[in-house]
Each structure stands twice: as C-alpha cells, then as structure tokens.
Amino acid sequence: MDNVHVSLHRKVLTVRNGPWRTVCSSTVGMPHPGRLRMNIEIKPTYAVDYDRVAPHGLIGQTYDRDDLEVNGLRDDYSRLDNGQPTTSRTGVGGQLTTRAKAVGAIEGRLEDYRMPSDFATAFRYSRFDVTYAPARNVSALTGWKGQRHTHSRPSAESG
C-alpha cells in the first residue's frame, strides 16, 4: 500500500508512511495500574518545519512551528451523568458524556472536523491532497496557552 510499512514486535505496533512514524503499545501499568492503556507516539521523520503544508489539529499542534501548547476545556470524569461518583461503581455501567469537545484547543468547533462518510478526506481544516496550508491561527484559540513541552518517553508519562 503506497509506502505504508506496518510491523508488530513484542506487542508494539509501528506504522510508517514515509514522512511520519506512529508507535503504539499497550500497558496495564502506571499511571493506571490494572487498567489497559494504549500509548501512542507520533513523530515526523523529516524536517516538518519546512513543509509547505503545516500539520493541524490536536496532534498537529505539536509540530506547527510556534512552540506553544494550547489546552482547551477538559471534562470532569469524577461523576457520572446521573451525579453518582464514578468511584462508587462496582463494575460496568453508568453513563458519562464527553462535553468539552476540545473547545479552546482547536480552531472552529468539533463539527468542523466531522467526516461525512467513512472514507472522506474533505472537511473545513483538511490537509489531505493540498500543496499549501498555513499553521493554525493561535490568536483564534481561546484555550490556555503555554510553552510547548515534550516527553522523551511518552509511554512513561504519569498523570
């Protein structure tokens, strides 16, 4: 498939497509002991700062040339929709609705990123098949802005 390389070695999935490498691994350790967690690392394999098509979105903001991170609204997962504390659950059940929807951290609204069908590539901020696209407009974002940080080992993050 068009320069896509996939490998699985010791429960670590690696997908490369030329300019980007994605590594996925699962763990049941920290920061959530006993809970299955998927750790995903996405890295460019080229000088992304010189690309005429700037990365975009929640993941793309890491590589959009401004050395800022922007944090939008966050959901509170301490209570279910019915008001019951999530810690009082003894098994599967209860409903918790995500409401933050990245407001403040993305340009536009969540609906601007929805795809009309399974294999669609066009949406308001799409970078698919374009020859030029600027970096995000940070001044249009309402979230908390701070200096970008990086993790040398994303799978070892805590919190």
What DSSP element (H or E) covers 25?
strand 20-27
Residue 158 lies in a domain: no
* Residue 157 falls inside a structural domain: no
- 148 or 139: which leads in pLDDT: 139
Point out which residues pair with 27 in neighbouring strands: 37
Dihedral pair phi/psi, residue 88, rounded to 5°: -85, -5
pLDDT score of 158: 40
Instruction: Answer whether residue 86 shows pLDDT above 90.
Output: no
- Half-sphere exposure of 145 toward its Cβ, with a 13 Å CA cutoff? 11
If asked whether residues 144 and 79 sit together in one domain, one would say: yes
Q: What is the C-alpha to C-alpha distance for residues 4 and 13, in angstroms, rounded to an integer? A: 13
Structural domain includes residue 6:
yes
22 found inside a domain: yes
Residues 82 and 32 reside in one and the same domain: no
Q: Indicate the pLDDT class of residue 156, thresholds 50, 70 and 90.
A: very low
The alpha helices in the chain, defined as continuous H runs, are 57-60
Q: What is the mean pLDDT of residues 154-159?
A: 42
Question: What's the pLDDT tens digit per position in 3-14?
Answer: 899 999 988 999
Residue 13: which domain range? 1-46
Residue 159 lies in a domain: no
Predicted confidence (pLDDT) per residue in 92-135, tens digit: 778 888 888 888 888 888 888 888 899 999 888 888 899 999 88
Least confident of 46-50, 86-90, 113-117, 127-131: 86-90
Q: Based on the structure, what is the number of domains in the chain?
A: 2
Statement to judge: residues 65 and 138 lie in one domain: yes
Report pLDDT for 71. 87
Same-domain check for residues 70 and 117: yes
Both 57 and 33 in one domain: the answer is no
